[in-house]
Structure 1
Amino acid sequence: MQTSDNNKKSLFGPATLVTAAFIGPGTVVTASLAGANFGYALIWALVFSVAATMILQEMAARLGIVTGRGLGENLRQLVQNPLLRWPLLLLVVVAIVIGNSAYQGGNISGAALGADALFADSAAVMQWKNYSSVNPWALLLGLVAAVVLWFGQYKLIERCLIALVILMSLAFIGTMLLTRPDLAALLKGAFWPAIPTGAVLSVVALIGTTVVPYSLFLHAAAAAQKWPHNNVAPQVAIRAARQDIAVAIPLGGLISIAIVSTAATAFFGREQQLDNVAQLAQALTPMFGSAATWCLALGLMAAGLSSAITAPLAAAYALAGVLNKPLDLKQSVFRATWIFIVLCGVVLSSLGIRPVNVIWFAQVANGILLPLICLCLLLAMNHSVLGQYRNNRWQNGLGLVVLLVSLLLSGRSLALAFALL
């Protein structure tokens, strides 16, 4: 088998797609509210969620590398009983494809919010708003996502998302430094777990925005494409994948911590309450100067755009795998899936539609899907097809801990969804 210097030395790889996926507007909102309401006290939940994500994503990457297939294809092979297989595969389609269609509206809306804060005074933007109620940024950002996915080979998409993750890192960490956080309180919050009164749902939400099922489909398929099992020795690819995970996922956690810290510095302990991210951006200017506001807005735009690319991509990988179609960006089912999701996101965002019913449905489906996918992944990682690359006892033990956490997240998602009834 051949190996390449790129595979040995690349600092960023498929794990960057996972970081780009979970650092979206939802994470920005959740982390901002956690910081504003509870200060630095819940940063330990982010530390835990990063560790849990690394455990699951390492398994997903190893599965993709050794089998040469995505998670959807492996689920087809793993679950042979048709009474179990088709309900499971249908749930995957519903939760990931339909769910990501709804969440795509939030991704584009979040990116548009950041772009509007950066370029609100532009003459062209103001003229557009005078003649149309449609959000111009939603159309433009949806078009950018579509162009990247339409013309992009995997390498190009990976490079675009690496650039966005680096931009998010500089923007959010730069904002944190400009707001001068309390480092002693930050370190205590990271390594001394505590749950203040009323913070239980915030803890679960912080974990839930990081440990998400569709990232497992994304990572397994991307790793299979990054390191083709016929061209790269599995042990070499797995080593590179672990190095990639060790860099990209903690970087995503650092971004989340920076957002919590910024909100804690700006709002915690003050009479003013934080209701949304736009309010946080507005509050930074009088307190810390326009540079902090610009950094936050730039990070929000990058977060929304990165998730607006990865959500359709993950859904397409999942559906293609479930239908046993090639994981080819130009394959018709693959392309039709991400086009549908991008269009849904643009319509929902540009027209200001609130997809409450669809999001409710997605919450229920995702609440059921997460522990099921965790369980299936653990079963797959102990299958004989993996040979020497099967899970060892430590990996299974850590996986079971994450499975228990996923059950907690499942209960929270279902409780929130039925609370909307």
Structure 2
Amino acid sequence: MKDAHQHKSLDDVHESVSVHQGKSKLKRLLSFFGPAYLISVGYMDPGNWATDLAGGSQFGYALLWVLLMSNLMALLLQSLCARLGIVRGKDLAQCNREIYPKRMNFVLYVLAELAIAACDLAEVLGMAIGLNLLFGIDILWGVLISFVDTFLLLYLQRLGMRKLELFIVGLIALIGMCFLVEMFFAQPQLGEVMQGFVPSLPNNAALYIAIGIIGATVMPHNLYLHSALVQTRKIEKTPVAIRRAIKYNFFDSAIALNIAFFVNAAILILAASVFHKNGMHDVAELQDAYRLLGTTLGTDWAPKLFAVALILAGQSSTITGTLAGQIVMEGYLRLRISPLLRRLLTRLLAIVPAVVVIVLFGDKEVGQMLIFSQVLLSMQLAFAVIPLIHFVSDREKMGEFVIGPYLRFFSWLIAAVIAVLNFQLVFEEVRGWLQDVDNIFLQALIVVGALGLLLLLLMTIVYPWVMKRKPTRLDVHASFEEMEFRAASSFRTILLALDFSKSDEKVISQVLQYSPSSCKLLLIHVVESASVKYTGGLSDDLEAREDMERLKQYAALLRERNYEVDYALRYNNRIKAIKECCEQHGADLLIVGSHGHTGLKDIIFGETVNKLRHAVKIPVLIAQ
């Protein structure tokens, strides 16, 4: 089943949620519920709203069946992601890195990052539009305000995975309640709504909107995300436990995605019953829908609830986008960066283009940016779906949990539908760009880019079948076979960084393990008195003199034990001073005491140990 010695997806929350082991099936089922709700918010993000509004206002209830079909497609694909994560213990990005060539993986990574940035762009714009509609805040300021929620995910992750899931479920519940009230105001005819589930396409324009609905519904980053989130559950590695986990995660996906379907269907039904019936057939902008809801339904609550739901949808979706970004970066590149930096990069990739367009062209181009974000998502979707089907169809890797022939047939059918429809959408957009661009070099660049994507798609399909090379092991570090192990040389010069606190006892105790005849000791203390801060260097104040006396006492203690000891004071900057001392005296080992505080205290009192590890090029022993 699971390959040994592998990097864990979302390492900080991997297997952090215990599964109920008692007799109660309900409690066991509830312990698996959560990951799919984080996935479902991507299916009801602001990027979906424009296509739902356009479909409902132009064609009434006729395209409801498209929403249902896309939801069933999404359910199948997300269940395959859950199966992959549970059985293989790897996310989709890690599996891609294992199979595809290095350069191809880099292109797939870039496309995945573009999809995440495009999705985050839709969330940023949706939230900004919601703030503008509800409070009259300028859209540019709304985009900038959305930057503040950069720190929300960091706080929620500190609380644990279950609390993060509960927060998302709460937002989804509020969105659902908003649209329940909207349905009460709109009072759609149930018989007409049911007729919308009969497949029909009134004209070519309906086909185009249907393509947009499917493209906006199935989100590529959700496929990466789901395969990682299911690994937050701690399950036994037995066939029975794995089969149970697959079943319960399917239930989780079915319920969560049906909620997402309700939200999308509610938007389309709202547009059909309010706009289409009143002859308003060209409502596709969120701002237009907000303004017309109040005048058509005759209540101020309808547009306000619409705006509140829009803000909630944007806020909930942006959290999952950042998690997906972490997964693709670690899976494809084996690169780990701090959660704060990851969050800032993701948000800046969405905010900067939005701010530039708004500053240059004004609010009127916001709707076009939303459409453009959906086109980018459509371009990337096939490159996530096709590898997923390859992986869950691999009997050698999946064992008894490989998908059967019928499920495989429907999976490839869905992949074909998605690829054709989404490339049709991209083709229409590219043709429009070519018509609008007069520069022949830009036209050639667009054509070459489109052909390159087509070639990459063919390689994604064919490569796992044609290439029979042995897959490389996926490790976040060098492979075990490539590593060489040698006996460590003895330390000749050991530097002890002392801070004259209780931690010095542990530092001194650590060095006593080394033979006096084999090493020389260097004791240093960094003076950070007020006068040193002012002068920036040497000082002969009372604190410096007392510190020197304390160093002499430590030196005398160690000399009594036959150690060769030298000592020195350093001044002002702890990290810089210790690093320079290590280099000046050729130290082989640095021993430093742990300060014993984290979080806010690191900001107040400073964080020495963690920064030292990255500053020096010798082993660092942290005495705790």
TM-score by length of 1: 0.86
User: Could you tell me which amino acid in structure 2 is paired with residue 298 of structure 1?
Assistant: V
Give the alignment of 1:291-310 within 5 angstroms.
291-310=301-320
Give CA deviations for 1:324-373 in whole Å, capped at 9, x if unaligned. 35xxxxx5266533320112333444562569999999777655532232
1:372 to 375, 383, 391: 383
What secondary structure sits across from 1:35 in the alignment? Answer: helix
Whether 2:266 is the aligned partner of 1:258: answer yes
Residue range with higher mean Cα deviation, 297-306 or 269-278: 269-278
Residue range with higher mean Cα deviation, 360-369 or 51-60: 360-369
Give CA deviations for 1:76-123 in whole Å, capped at 9, x if unaligned. 2233xx3xx531x22332222133224423311211222332333xxx
What residue in structure 2 maps to residue 65 of structure 1?
86
User: Could you tell me which amino acid in structure 2 is paired with residue 311 of structure 1?
Assistant: G
State the Cα distance separating 1:319 from its structure 2 match.
Answer: 1.7
State the Cα distance separating 1:316 from its structure 2 match.
Answer: 1.9
Query: Within 1, Cα distance between the matches of 2:132 and 2:373?
Result: 28
What residue in structure 2 maps to residue 328 of structure 1?
none
Any conservation in 1 of the 2:118–2:350 contact (CA below 8 Å)? yes
Residue range with higher mean Cα deviation, 30-39 or 286-295: 286-295
Any conservation in 2 of the 1:371–1:407 contact (CA below 8 Å)? yes
What secondary structure sits across from 2:93 in the alignment? Answer: helix
Query: Within 1, Cα distance between the matches of 2:106 and 2:367?
Result: 22
1:76 to 88, 97, 108: 97
1:104 to 100, 103, 120: 120
What secondary structure sits across from 1:40 in the alignment? Answer: coil
What secondary structure sits across from 2:278 in the alignment? Answer: coil
Residue range with higher mean Cα deviation, 362-371 or 48-57: 362-371
Give the alignment of 1:136-175 within 5 angstroms.
137-149=142-154, 151-152=156-157, 153-175=160-182
Cα 1:282–1:367 change in 2 (3 A) is: closer
Residue range with higher mean Cα deviation, 244-253 or 383-392: 383-392
Query: Within 2, Cα distance between the matches of 1:293 and 1:178?
Result: 11
Any conservation in 1 of the 2:19–2:234 contact (CA below 8 Å)? no
What residue in structure 2 maps to residue 392 of structure 1?
404
Query: Within 2, Cα distance between the matches of 1:362 and 1:134?
Result: 18
State the Cα distance separating 1:8 from its structure 2 match.
Answer: 2.6
State the Cα distance separating 1:396 from its structure 2 match.
Answer: 0.7
Any conservation in 2 of the 1:366–1:413 contact (CA below 8 Å)? no
Any conservation in 2 of the 1:45–1:207 contact (CA below 8 Å)? yes
Give the alignment of 1:333-412 within 5 angstroms.
335-349=340-354, 352=358, 366-383=377-394, 384-412=396-424
Residue range with higher mean Cα deviation, 202-211 or 225-234: 225-234
What residue in structure 1 maps to residue 135 of structure 2?
119
What residue in structure 1 maps to residue 103 of structure 2?
86
Give CA deviations for 1:358-395 in whole Å, capped at 9, x if unaligned. 99997776555322322211110022221111101221
State the Cα distance separating 1:46 from its structure 2 match.
Answer: 0.4
Any conservation in 1 of the 2:47–2:370 contact (CA below 8 Å)? no
Query: Within 1, Cα distance between the matches of 2:93 and 2:250?
Result: 21
Cα 1:17–1:92 change in 2 (3 A) is: farther
Unpaired segments ≥5 residues, structure 2: 1-14, 22-26, 360-364, 435-624
Cα 1:138–1:12 change in 2 (3 A) is: farther
User: Could you tell me which amino acid in structure 2 is paired with residue 238 of structure 1?
Assistant: I
Residue range with higher mean Cα deviation, 153-162 or 229-238: 229-238
Residue range with higher mean Cα deviation, 363-372 or 106-115: 363-372
What secondary structure sits across from 2:202 in the alignment? Answer: coil
Query: Within 2, Cα distance between the matches of 1:49 and 1:359?
Result: 20
What residue in structure 2 maps to residue 324 of structure 1?
334
What residue in structure 1 maps to residue 232 of structure 2?
225
State the Cα distance separating 1:30 from its structure 2 match.
Answer: 0.8
Any conservation in 2 of the 1:149–1:157 contact (CA below 8 Å)? no
What residue in structure 2 maps to residue 420 of structure 1?
433
1:284 to 293, 298, 305: 293
RMSD of aligned alpha carbons: 2.9
State the Cα distance separating 1:287 from its structure 2 match.
Answer: 2.5
Any conservation in 2 of the 1:67–1:386 contact (CA below 8 Å)? yes
Any conservation in 2 of the 1:15–1:248 contact (CA below 8 Å)? yes
1:246 to 254, 260, 269: 254
State the percentage of identical aligned residues.
24
Query: Within 1, Cα distance between the matches of 2:376 and 2:291?
Result: 36
Any conservation in 2 of the 1:367–1:414 contact (CA below 8 Å)? yes
The one of the two structures with greater contact order (alpha-carbon pairs below 8 A, sep at least 6) is 1
Cα 1:38–1:159 change in 2 (3 A) is: same
Any conservation in 2 of the 1:94–1:365 contact (CA below 8 Å)? no
Query: Within 2, Cα distance between the matches of 1:379 and 1:48?
Result: 23
State the Cα distance separating 1:25 from its structure 2 match.
Answer: 1.1
State the Cα distance separating 1:268 from its structure 2 match.
Answer: 0.6
Query: Within 2, Cα distance between the matches of 1:238 and 1:49?
Result: 22
| Structure (1 or 2) with the larger CA radius of gyration | 2
Any conservation in 2 of the 1:36–1:263 contact (CA below 8 Å)? yes
Any conservation in 1 of the 2:215–2:378 contact (CA below 8 Å)? no
Query: Within 1, Cα distance between the matches of 2:349 and 2:119?
Result: 9
Whether 2:38 is the aligned partner of 1:22: answer no
2:54 to 14, 33, 39: 33
Query: Within 1, Cα distance between the matches of 2:401 and 2:267?
Result: 37
Give CA deviations for 1:188-235 in whole Å, capped at 9, x if unaligned. 111x10001221110111111111221100110111123456599312
Query: Within 1, Cα distance between the matches of 2:348 and 2:309?
Result: 24
Query: Within 2, Cα distance between the matches of 1:33 and 1:10?
Result: 39
Cα 1:320–1:258 change in 2 (3 A) is: same
Unpaired segments ≥5 residues, structure 1: 326-330
State the Cα distance separating 1:55 from its structure 2 match.
Answer: 0.4
Any conservation in 1 of the 2:382–2:415 contact (CA below 8 Å)? yes
TM-score by length of 2: 0.59
Query: Within 2, Cα distance between the matches of 1:363 and 1:286?
Result: 29
What residue in structure 1 maps to residue 594 of structure 2?
none
Paired residues, number: 399
Any conservation in 2 of the 1:42–1:203 contact (CA below 8 Å)? yes
Query: Within 2, Cα distance between the matches of 1:246 and 1:26?
Result: 22
Higher percent of residues as helix: 1
